[in-house]
Amino acid sequence: MCGPFTFFIHLKMKGNDSQQTVLKIDGIGEVCFVWNRNSRNLRITMTPFQGVRVTVPPFVSLAYARKFVEDKRVWILKHAERMAEKEKGKSIFTPERVFKTQDHMLFLHTHPEKTIRIIIKSGGIHIFYPDFAPVEDPRIQRAIRKGIMEAWRIEAGIHLPQRIKELASTHGFSFNRVTVRNNKTRWGSCSRDNNISLHIQLMRLPRHLTDYIILHELVHTVHKNHGKQYWQLLDKVTGRNAKQLDKEMNHYRLEIW
């Protein structure tokens, strides 16, 4: 196993250094007003799980900022519907939620610093975030996802090259070299020179589907297209189950967050 990987994400989170007021406004809900000495204009932002947040210049009163929000009621309600839809389809990691990769477990910790720290070591993905910040903060959630992706990258570099060698040996395939990547569109690819690329997110698939993707690319070392002969060979090396495995893959996608 590789040594620990450490990442630091520096945040502009001021915690108790900034003045904040939360008001419940009829028809809108809770609104967080945050006074920022560097701000020159009132600004409303809405993000999933953060609600309505208003950045207020130091010279603007709460009463004026509240009226500004009430004047923007139609805009806020329109965007609130979009935020609700995004929240439905978005996974949120909390200290109570158990999450494991093949070799690592996720642990969330608070600390008194204003940075987010990610440490991957000894089978753990350790995320340290500011004790004044809610874990739902998008910056913290992005850091958690970054930690998980790095754990998958580590695991992919260890397990996938070994597995492709095993399957190639079992079924009589040969390939040039293998790389693991976090590309945008494909689970795997095979070049004309029989260099095979595998996606690091294969580590989150069930083992039989990971093997299916690897075999899919190994068959391309023999047949470079998806013609009849390709599917016949793929069906043979998957135990006459290629079409069913291909259908199962429709339940998984690369965009998981």
pLDDT digits (tens, 9 = 90+) for 160-206: 999 999 999 999 999 999 999 988 789 999 999 999 999 999 999 99
The CATH code that applies to domain 152-251 is 3.30.2010.10
**Contact call for residues 28 and 76 (beta carbons, < 8 A):** yes
Q: At 254, is the pLDDT very low, low, confident or very high (cuts 50, 70, 90)?
A: confident
More confident residue, 220 or 132: 220
| Beta-strand relationship, 196-199 and 188-190 | antiparallel
**Contact call for residues 53 and 46 (beta carbons, < 8 A):** yes
pTM across the whole model: 0.71
Helices (H) and strands (E) in the chain, counts: 6, 11
Give the model's pLDDT for residue 5: 58
Give the model's pLDDT for residue 86: 65
Query: Rg of the chain's alpha carbons, rounded to an integer?
Result: 24
CA triple 102-220-232, angle to 5 deg: 100
Q: Is the pLDDT confidence value at 17 over 60?
A: no
- Alpha carbon 159 to its chain centroid, in Å, reads 21
**φ and ψ at residue 93, rounded to 5 degrees:** -90, 130
Average pLDDT of span 84-92: 70
Percent of the chain with pLDDT over 90: 66
Q: Which residue spans of the chain are classified as CATH 3.30.2010.10?
A: 152-251
121: Cβ–Cβ under 8 A, 6 or more apart, which residues?
A: 3, 4, 5
Beta bridge partners of 15: none
